[in-house]
Amino acid sequence: MKAIVAFPVFLVVVVLDQISKLVAEATLAATPQPVFGEWLRFALVYNPGAAFGLHLGPYSRWIFMGLTAGALVILSRLYRQTEDGDYRRVLAIGLVAAGAVGNVVDRIRSEYGVVDFIDIGFGIHRWPTFNVADIAVSGGAMLLALVLWNEERREGELAEAARAQAAAPSDTADYAP
């Protein structure tokens, strides 16, 4: 049942990410193209590092591919541990995994790095340029954090209720006259 949610989400995000990057590479020149004034524009940028331009030297590409592989192993374990019907958790895992795969595809196919093209901000005050995969990773990670936090909170409440019940006086105690 989990695959009914996970697979389509994963597939749609990876395909949308790759198509949008191919279109960006084919159509965007060095000059940013306004979409919604200065606030939202498309600008082609190649990011050889990670989020926010984090760069670890000449081996960044390989280091980040290795880190992505490790993250995908962790996500696959979380997916296998997820109960059927926990669609928010499955959605979150699918989004993060798809975004990670979308960006690692860029690292494999291009020595220039990940294709970023969504640029938001005003004037010189801009957010780092990003892509569809980055949106999926960020949104999925936030949702996954919320889901896991709620699970931990629920487990804590259940444990507290069990302790309270164990500490309560029993109604079945024998009383001697």
Residue among 73, 49, 75 nearest 62 (CA): 49
Please say whether the dihedral angle defined by the alpha carbons of residues 156, 159, 160 and 161, taken in this order, is positive or negative. Answer: positive
pTM of the model: 0.83
End-to-end Cα spacing for the chain:
59
pLDDT single digits (tens) 79-126? 999 999 999 999 999 999 999 999 999 999 988 889 999 999 998 899
More confident of the two residues 170 and 161: 161
Residue among 172, 142, 139 nearest 17 (CA): 139
Helical H segments across the chain, by residue range: 2-27, 60-81, 87-109, 132-167
Binning pLDDT at 50, 70 and 90, where does residue 174 land? low
Catalytic residues: 116, 134
**Is a pLDDT exceeding 80 seen at residue 35?**
yes
Q: Write down the domain spans for the chain.
A: 2-165
The token pair at 1 is 């049942």
